[in-house]
Chains A and B, each alone.
Chain A
Amino acid sequence: MKQVKTTRQYGIFINFRKIYANLLSLDTSLLFQKILKIQYSQTCVMFSLALILLTTSATGVMAGGGFQQIAPGLYFSSGVHQDFSKSNKGQIANTGFIVGSERVAIIDTGSSYQQGLRIREHVRAVTDLPIDYVIVTHMHPDHALGTSAFSKDSPQVIGHQNLADALARRESTYLNNMKRLLGDSAKDTQLVIPSKSVTTTEGMSLNLGDRWLYLTAYPTAHTNNDLSVFDTKTGTLWLSDLLFVERIPVIDGSLLGWLKVMDGLMASGCINTQHNRQCQPIVQVVPGHGPVVTAWQSALAKQHHYLEEIANQIRRIISKGGTISQAVKSVGLDEQGNWLLFNEYHGRNVTAAFAELEWE
């Protein structure tokens, strides 16, 4: 298709809107898209009236930008525990990069093209080695939207086998949300569809030069496209949003699936890598939000407790014929003191969990 521009051999940049316009006249099932196009122009007006969100402290912004070495050659930048805002520029998720003897792998690219550029600058301050891999841990905009900043490095953009589809389905929503919430910081942001998929059955090994990374794609949990990165050199497991520390977890996949993934990790305590027949112990875990944890089992247990608690309480409401609205008002309120941003996301979790659990 000539509308699809392939930029070098890696990710594919797509002007979806242009494709919409071209396909509209061809496919009668897409009548609604004409309305959608109108919708965009209207909502742009509305987005300019966007909410003024929490302001962030100067240190918060620093924390969202700077990188520290948490293991030899493994660099980590922590996101702030806030919602997207103009002042935090969307730097709310943890991002990082790993340096081998021959090449560099990026893990997550942030909320915008500009955040991606800042990550790239940090890499260049550390090493001149080529950035050959950009690993996107899942679809969420705070993790996945800065990828186009690495286009000049022509990396392989790697994600879960479901990532491309999940991003494509959410393209317009995510880009509009970021425009609304981040303003100028969202400028030039575009979607990059991954060029390489990790399957849930096989995983993937990457060689950075004297340093192997092992990627695992999970069944539906936090989302239907969660990927973890295990650095075999240091025993660091980058779980991304499969683990939330301090900040409240968000269910955007399957609560039951997520519990199973956590059970598996806690039961084994190690990662089965392809090149190493032994199951290698997990030394430390990098969550998608919050500090790096060595006591990762207890961090997972805390998250497990929250999810299991809301599941059990929702089941009781369902068995009595109750509704989502009733569940949102009463379920899991004891957990309020345990999590940051509880009021912003807890109701959403109860809603999503209810819709899942009523089919049990």
Chain B
Amino acid sequence: MDWASILYLGITFGLFVIFALIVVRTYSRKRKDENEVAKFRMLDDD
């Protein structure tokens, strides 16, 4: 494997980890209410 391929793999893996962290954070039980509140707030009178 040359350096370019290793870099490519590293970036792909890094992006995957970031995505996995976003999923974990969004679906964490602790933050459930916090992550749903915006959908009610947007219905407030303009």
A and B part of one assembly: no
Which A residues contact B (CB, under 8 angstroms)? none
Which B residues contact A (CB, under 8 angstroms)? none
